[in-house]
């Protein structure tokens, strides 16, 4: 039950990051189109050099902001994907045991088995 809820949350977070990345890509594309239009306006002498420089700098600043935001979203998306893969590997006690360090394995065995086992000839036995 908890695993299902956790997977649903992780899936939603990853999807949200994908949506943000797609949105930033569209915004970057729109800025690039505006830059191309701006150059055409300058070449056709519909705007002067000062106006071009002011608008160009503003558009470049916007593009940098969108690019940075996209990179952050990509990084977060990778983290959510990593968490999802970890969750998948922690669904059973056997999988947790495989990932644990030797000290963690000892603690797991002590907690789970309540000191009722002995290890003899490669096997655990109840005593």
Assess contact for 55 and 38: CB atoms under 8 A.
yes
CA distance from start to end of the chain: 35
Give the pLDDT confidence score for residue 20 in this predicted structure. 94
Give the pLDDT confidence score for residue 113 in this predicted structure. 66
- For the question of whether the overall pTM of this predicted structure is more than 0.85, the answer is no
Give the pLDDT confidence score for residue 9 in this predicted structure. 82
Give the pLDDT confidence score for residue 54 in this predicted structure. 96
Q: What is the pLDDT along the chain (127 residues), one digit of tens a residue?
A: 567 777 788 888 888 989 999 999 999 999 999 999 999 999 999 999 999 999 999 999 999 999 999 999 999 888 888 887 777 766 666 777 777 888 888 887 777 666 566 667 766 666 6
Domain ranges of the chain: 2-91, 93-127
Give the pLDDT confidence score for residue 2 in this predicted structure. 63
């Amino acid at each position: 039950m908890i695993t299902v809820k956790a997977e649903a949350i992780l899936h939603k977070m990853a999807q949200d990051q994908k949506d943000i990345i797609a949105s930033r890509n569209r915004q970057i594309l729109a800025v690039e189109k505006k830059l191309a239009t701006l150059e055409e306006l300058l070449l056709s002498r519909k705007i002067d050099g000062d106006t071009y420089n002011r608008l160009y700098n503003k558009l470049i600043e916007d593009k940098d902001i969108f690019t940075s935001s996209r990179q952050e979203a990509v990084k977060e998306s990778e983290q959510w994907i990593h968490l999802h893969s970890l969750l998948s590997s922690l669904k059973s006690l056997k999988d947790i045991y495989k990932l644990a360090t030797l000290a963690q394995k000892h603690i797991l065995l002590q907690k789970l088995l309540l000191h009722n086992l002995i290890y003899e000839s490669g096997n655990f036995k109840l005593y």
